[in-house]
Structure 1
Amino acid sequence: MKWMEFSIHTTQEAVEPISNLLHESGASGVVIEDSADVYQTWDGAEDEIIELNDRDYPEEGVILKSYFPASSFVAETVEEMKQSINDLLLHNIDLGRNEVSLTEIEEEDWAHAWKQYYKPVNITETLTIVPTWEHYTPGSKDEKVIELDPGMAFGTGTHPTTVLCLQVLEQELTGGEHVIDVGTGSGVLAIGAAKFNASKVLALDLDQTAVDVARENAAYNHTGDCITVKQNNLLDHENGQADVVVANILADIIIRLAPDAWKSLKPEGIFIASGIISGKKKEVIEVLQEEGFEIKETKDMEDWAAVTAVKKDR
């Protein structure tokens, strides 16, 4: 399917009225690229903020982008929008440059363009993650390979937080363990646990899309027999106890999860917590210790940390 991208360079003042006009005209979403965002100090959790690249934003003002199905009527729609936007001048709204551009885009480009940057990556001493569409020959008979297609789920397996989890799983699993993967995403940690000889893996995610993708990836890697994928909110209503619980999620959620992680582990069980921005590592460690965990190890990569904790008697 082809789409028409309608782009207009305008002012902060005009963002709301122009956005309303675009929605009323049938736009399938509006993207706002505001030059002020690059230099703004954002409130919120550190691990929910990413660094913005000023090359992706205009030097001044705002660029609004909206998308319309390409059809024989799109030209008429665009002309009507231009007129409606110009009419905002009658209400003393500063339109700034008011420069409009149109670009035809193939929907397939959005869905697949990112794949050219996703290549096989050696994650641990023995594990390599390979996109399902890439040909790869293992370097040795001992090398383990996860073939992964993230689809619409979160997780290519190459982010530092995921790498840290897989490294700890490789280190801690000796074979035959029961593992729970909380917030499984594409299923990479669950599959990794199975590759490291866990006998039983429960993969949980609240997002049904992630559940479907993780289940497909587990089957593709011939690990479906030992991995059960289920839709669930964190560890809610999970009454069993595992040898290992791994959670690669935000630090604030790990803090909330700590009591349920303790309950879901056997004595001396291992809790692997990742997705922790470095600035929150101390807070997470303190909460885990208060809950009855003994910190066994911390690993750091770039600005991220993973904490390995052992369940001890209170």
Structure 2
Amino acid sequence: MKWSEICIHTIEEAIDPITNILYEAGAGGVVIEDSLDLEKAQLAQDEDYQLDPEDFPIDGVNVKAYLPVTSFLGETVAEIKQSIADLRQYAINIGESQITISERNEEEWATAWKKYYKPVAVGEKFVIVPTWIDFKSEDRDRQSIELDPGMAFGTGTHPTTVLCIEALEQYVRPGAKVLDVGTGTGVLSIASAKLGAASVLGVDLDQVAVDSAKLNIKLNKVQDIAKVKRNDLIQGLAPHYDVIVGNLLAELVLRLAEADVAALLQQPNGILIVSGIIRAKKEQVAQALHAAGLKIIDSREKEDWVCLVAVRGE
């Protein structure tokens, strides 16, 4: 099959919303080429995982998606361009968002992206390992999380995921009941289970993500603890949880607050962990959580991203 590669040159802040647009348009896979990842690799001088500078932009980020070549391709690309332009209405900086299109054979993109994905130490207790790499951590204090990213992959672990895992390490207690909203690959659900949670429910609106999370949970042998189902955020869920974690865009975190996410937390002192928030929207999100009956007890930042931890009191 022939595939069309659509490449959007943008900035870090716009990665997640643009990626969502591409998946909604029917993308068969996404690659994120971040110039910062190349800089980090060069500074680390890791001989085992050398990255080719020609695969990365000089600055900013390339978000590449793969769409099947059909008679509707032109209309789909036009809709993508308009949706990306519309992001400015939500005060999202999308940079120049220059778009280029080229043709690829299926074999080219189905395997080439794996060169970007390597074992990454996250937090104090984990190392995330792609399933196709034979890797054994020399650090006995770190547990491996094996991941097959399926149709969603990038050049490394995103800062928002790292922030969430760091917060989970601090706030998940043995026996906790955890809800993972927007589970994606299931990495936060897996981490919660490995941290001693008694039960974990991961939810995602995207069926591809649900299937991917189920696969990864099984790969990590935590299927007796972690379950996944398709769901629109917290709609229809019952009060049950000690910890709720959501690696989401700020707009979706605001929706959680409006949906009374605090009511799903068991008292006393249920914990909400939310990331995916750009620094410019930190105060807006914090105010919304406060209005929803939650108190911010912890704030963490990595690059341009923020993670907020809130508690529901008595």
Structure 1 residues 180 and 26: CA distance shift in structure 2, 3 A: closer
Aligned with 1:169: secondary structure?
Answer: helix
Matched, 1:44 2:89: yes
Whole-Å Cα distance in 2 between the matches of residues 157 and 299 of structure 1?
Answer: 20
Distance 1:160 1:64, change over 3 A: closer
The answer as to 2:250 corresponding to 1:251 is yes
Paired positions, count? 244
Query: Shift of the alpha carbon at 1:155?
Result: 7.7
Following TM superposition, the consecutive aligned residue runs of length 4 or more in structure 1 with deviations greater than 3 angstroms are 1-5, 25-28, 30-33, 49-54, 153-157
1:45 offset after TM fit, Å?
2.7
CA deviation string 1:216-261 (max 9, x = no partner): 0000001111011001000000013200000111111111102432
1:129 aligns with 2:116: no
CA contact (8 A) 1:150 1:156 kept: no
Tell me the equivalent position of 1:29: 73
Q: Which amino acid aligns with 1:43?
A: R
**Are the equivalent residues in 1 in contact too, given 2:4–2:101 (CA < 8 A)?**
no
1:180 paired residue number: 179
Could you report, residue by residue, the CA deviation over 1:180-215 in whole angstroms, capped at 9, with x for unpaired residues?
Answer: 000101101101111111110000001111111100
> Is the 8 Å Cα contact of residues 179 and 202 (structure 2) preserved in structure 1?
yes
Amino acid at match of 1:265: L
Verify the 8 A CA contact 1:154 1:186 in the aligned structure 2.
Answer: no
How big is each residue's C-alpha offset from its partner over 1:258-290, in whole Å with a ceiling of 9 and x where there is no partner?
Answer: 243201101110000111010000011111111
Which SS does the other structure have where 2:272 is aligned?
A: strand
Shift of 1:112: 2.4
Partner residue of 1:308? 309
Partner of 2:212: 213
Alpha-carbon deviation of 1:109? Answer: 1.4
Could you tell me whether the CA contact under 8 Å between 2:87 and 2:94 is conserved in 1? no
Per the TM alignment, residue 44 of structure 1 is displaced from its structure 2 partner at its CA by 2.7
Distance 1:32 1:233 in 2: 27
How many Å apart are 1:32 and its aligned residue? 6.0
Partner SS, residue 176 of structure 1: coil
Q: Tell me what 2:24 maps to.
A: none
**113-122 or 215-224: which moved more?**
113-122
Aligned to 2:264: 264
Alignment pair present for 1:147 and 2:191:
no
* SS of equivalent to 1:242: coil
- Give the match's secondary structure for 1:217: helix
C-alpha distance in structure 2 between counterparts of 1:250 and 1:3, whole Å: 29
CA shift, 1:28, in A, is 5.9
1:3–1:243 CA distance, 2 compared to 1 (3 A)? closer
CA distance in 2, matches of 1:147, 1:224: 14
Aligned to 1:233: 232
Distance 1:137 1:154, change over 3 A: closer
Instruction: Name the SS of the counterpart of 1:282 in structure 2.
Output: helix
Q: TM-score, normalised by structure 2?
A: 0.71
Tell me the TM-score normalized by structure 1. Answer: 0.71
Partner in structure 1 of residue 274 of structure 2: 273
- In the alignment, the residues of structure 2 paired with residue 133 and residue 153 of structure 1 have an alpha-carbon distance, to the nearest angstrom, of 15
Q: Secondary structure at the match of 1:190?
A: helix
What is the root-mean-square deviation in Å for CA atoms of aligned residues? Answer: 2.8
**Contact 1:46 1:277 survives alignment (8 Å):** no
Match of 1:192 in 2: 191
Instruction: Answer whether contact 1:178 1:201 (CA < 8 A) is retained.
Output: yes
Larger Rg: 1
Partner of 2:137: 138
Q: Secondary structure at the match of 2:266?
A: strand
Paired amino acid for 1:223:
V
Give unmatched runs, 5+ long, in structure 2. 6-68
Provide the C-alpha distance between the structure 2 equivalents of 1:109 and 1:161, rounded to a whole number of angstroms: 29
Given that 2:122 and 2:165 are in contact with CA atoms closer than 8 Å, whether structure 1 keeps it comes out as yes
Q: Is the 8 A contact 2:117 2:154 kept in 1?
A: no
Contact 1:292 1:311 in 2 (8 A): yes
- Deviation (angstroms), 1:129: 0.6
Contact 1:276 1:305 in 2 (8 A): yes
Amino acid at match of 2:310: A
Distance in structure 1 (CA, Å) of the matches to 2:186 and 2:154? 8
Aligned partners of 1:229, 1:43: CA distance in 2, in Å? 33
SS, match of residue 134 in structure 1? coil
Change (3 A) 1:64 1:150: closer
Partner of 2:169: 170
- Between stretches 171-180 and 299-308, larger displacement belongs to 171-180
Q: 1:120 to 1:272 in 2, by over 3 A?
A: same
